């Protein structure tokens, strides 16, 4: 009983530290029939009887892999009955489900197992599902993640708890090694089953346990303990860094229409560790599959942001995700780049407005007498332009940009390409398609709203009537 008391005390300490349960919680205990899960059921049962009121549900999954699976299910059923606990059983023919799932035997079994356990928790109104992963499992996981090239998050290994479909998956044994659990079962006479597949090295985890860790123990007899400590340290530091990344996100990143943007200078001012975290966090918010985003892609974004040149680029991150640099702005999007809408409209006097549905804008036109213009003209901003009405050739054309477009700008001899003006003014490529061009009846571009107007039909001292053009947001105009 001394060994049971020691394990109970250790589990209670971990449970309090990580808030794994509270008095009167209902917990579904996943029991495979192996020594680890049998020990878990007995330890939690001891706690529920003598330390804290807990309601336990014993749940077992028969995956249909081995002939002895049915015997193991009956073993667990008898255990639950002996303790007076409800018993829930799921039986799956995993071999026949593998083709449909595409996950392989282990992946399919895991998916169906967790699906059943979480469903059982929902039916009983349970807060959590208790799983028997222990310190040796943790050490194996860290080695596997290390070999895969994981970062800090991966090296933190198996979590003490995580939430899936509003049910907490808890692991009270993560600091207890396999030997202690086996010893408990043997000393207390708890019956358990041995899974022969645990000795097959064709499974990667088994190979780590049976070959890699024993080899490393030749150089460090406490390598398993060291790996568990690494997971504890990495987990705590990962949580701290993640919280710091969230804070950076709130301070630096702007969100709108499924896009996230930040300023290059602000990004450069934070440490490189946070830079990588911030990029991953943004991609996570865009529902990215982070397992497909390797270190090289994150670094491509980070280095491309920090480099002075080129000032514009686009990076396909896969899965429909793109990162675009537009001078000093970095933009992340989960939507493919929109192709420029092609449109052409005619605008005649005395029309007062023209809706440009393709870009969500409206062109407004008003005629002002000379005296009214000089009173009001100072109030109009870059989204308005005025022309000598008598000098302007009608009808006007409002259209999308075409390759090779040029404009005769005031104060400049000859013409300049519209594309070059956009580049000089550092107008982001994504915004250029939203800018319409206004042409006169001869085809000359007379105004690029918010950018430039041409030398045509300039208002002068001989002007008697002024034509005022303004570009506004369609939604804002309709609301007023």
Binding site as annotated, residues for ATP: 32-37
For residues 227 and 292, give the distance between their C-alpha atoms in angstroms, rounded to a whole number.
Answer: 26
Detail the DSSP E strand segments found in 307-431: 312-318, 321-326, 329-333, 344-347, 353-356, 361-369, 384-388, 396-399, 406-407, 416-417
DSSP label at residue 393: P
For residues 74 and 334, give the distance between their C-alpha atoms in angstroms, rounded to a whole number.
Answer: 50
Q: Are 10 and 17 in contact (CB under 8 A)?
A: no
Burial 56-79 (b: 16+ CB within 10 A, else e): bbbbbbbbbeeeebeebbebbbeb
Q: Are 89 and 117 in contact (CB under 8 A)?
A: no
- What pairing do the DSSP bridges indicate for beta strands 161-164 and 128-130? unpaired
Cα-based angle 421, 425, 431 (whole degrees, multiple of 5): 90
Please report, in range form, the residues annotated as the binding site.
32-37
DSSP string across 298-336: HHHHHHHHHSSS-SEEEEEEETTEEEEEETTEEEEESSP
Q: Is 397 helix (H, G, I), strand (E, B) or coil?
A: strand
For residues 14 and 377, give the distance between their C-alpha atoms in angstroms, rounded to a whole number.
Answer: 73
For residues 107 and 112, give the distance between their C-alpha atoms in angstroms, rounded to a whole number.
Answer: 9
* Token pair in block for residue 34: 């192996």
Q: What is the dihedral of CA 447, 450, 455, 460, to 10 degrees?
A: 110
* Token pair in block for residue 226: 């060291």
Q: Are 11 and 171 in contact (CB under 8 A)?
A: no
């Amino acid at each position: 009983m001394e060994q049971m008391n020691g394990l109970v005390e250790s589990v209670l300490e971990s449970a309090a530290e990580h808030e794994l349960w509270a008095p009167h919680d209902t917990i579904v205990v996943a029991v495979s029939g192996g020594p680890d899960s049998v020990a878990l059921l007995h330890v939690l049962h001891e706690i529920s009887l003598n330390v804290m009121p807990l309601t336990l549900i014993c749940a077992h999954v028969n995956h249909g892999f081995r002939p002895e699976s049915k015997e193991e299910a009956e073993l667990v059923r008898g255990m639950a009955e002996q303790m007076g606990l409800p018993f829930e059983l799921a039986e799956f023919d995993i071999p026949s489900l593998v083709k449909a799932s595409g996950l392989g035997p282990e992946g399919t079994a895991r998916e169906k197992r967790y699906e059943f356990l979480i469903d059982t928790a929902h039916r009983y109104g349970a807060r959590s599902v208790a799983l028997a992963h222990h310190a040796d499992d943790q050490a194996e996981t860290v080695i596997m993640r290390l070999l895969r090239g994981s970062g800090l998050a991966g090296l933190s290994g198996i979590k003490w708890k995580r939430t899936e479909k509003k049910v907490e998956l808890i692991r009270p044994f993560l600091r207890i090694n396999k030997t202690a659990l086996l010893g408990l079962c043997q000393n207390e006479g708890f019956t358990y089953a041995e899974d022969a597949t645990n000795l097959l090295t064709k499974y990667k985890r088994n190979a780590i346990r049976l070959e890699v860790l024993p080899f490393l123990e030749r150089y460090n007899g406490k390598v398993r303990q060291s790996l568990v400590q690494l997971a504890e340290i990495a987990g705590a530091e990962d949580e701290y860094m993640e919280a710091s990344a969230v804070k950076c996100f709130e301070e630096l990143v702007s969100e709108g229409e499924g896009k996230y943007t930040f300023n290059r200078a602000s990004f450069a001012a934070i440490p490189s560790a946070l830079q990588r975290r911030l990029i991953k966090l943004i991609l996570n918010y865009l529902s990215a599959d982070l397992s497909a985003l390797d270190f090289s892609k994150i670094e491509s974004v980070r280095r491309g942001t920090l480099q002075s040149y080129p000032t514009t680029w686009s990076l396909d991150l896969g899965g429909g995700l793109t990162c675009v640099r537009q001078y000093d702005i970095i933009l992340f999007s989960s939507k493919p780049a929109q192709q420029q809408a092609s449109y052409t409209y005619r605008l005649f006097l005395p029309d007062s407005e023209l809706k440009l549905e393709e870009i969500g804008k409206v062109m407004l036109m008003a005629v002002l007498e000379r005296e009214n213009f000089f009173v009001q003209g100072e109030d109009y901003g870059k989204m308005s332009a005025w022309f000598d009405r008598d000098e302007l050739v009608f009808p006007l054309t409002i259209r999308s940009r075409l390759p090779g477009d040029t404009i005769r700008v005031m104060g400049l001899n000859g013409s300049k390409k519209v594309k070059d003006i956009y580049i000089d003014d550092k107008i982001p490529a994504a915004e250029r398609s939203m800018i319409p061009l206004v042409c006169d009846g001869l085809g000359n571009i007379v105004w690029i709203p918010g950018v430039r107007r041409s030398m045509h039909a300039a208002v002068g001292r001989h002007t008697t009537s002024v034509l005022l053009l303004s570009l506004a947001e369609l939604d804002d105009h309709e609301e007023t």
